[in-house]
Structure 1
Amino acid sequence: VRLTEPLSMGWCLECHREPEKYLRPNEEVTTMGYLHTEGFLEENLNRIRQEGIRPPTNCSACHY
């Protein structure tokens, strides 16, 4: 295991602002080296709509 990205707010916000690029199936959240399947972007956009996924981007989401 190695750190490939800084654990900064910018890194977190990148994912929260565009979750369709980063969502995984729930059972794959902890899978190291996970690779998205073909068509994952459309699947994730559907999942975001269906589940009402809206990650917070305000400071108080993490800093409370």
Structure 2
Amino acid sequence: MRRTVIERFPAGGPRGSRPAEEFAAARRGEGLAAEVVMDLDQDAFLVVVPRQSADGDH
């Protein structure tokens, strides 16, 4: 599945802080299928949404 990154958050946030999850939840509230994934190479959380191809092919 192809996905588009809509926001990045550093993984080293304060204990108990989940800005990526909060951002994704807000986008889901707007109707986007946002989810959080971890980019181990960049040590960051990414908020992603499914990419819609121009020709409708998934």
Provide TM-score, normalisation by structure 2.
0.31
Provide TM-score, normalisation by structure 1.
0.30
Structure with larger RCO (C-alpha < 8 A, sep 6+): 2
Higher helix share: 1
Higher strand share: 2
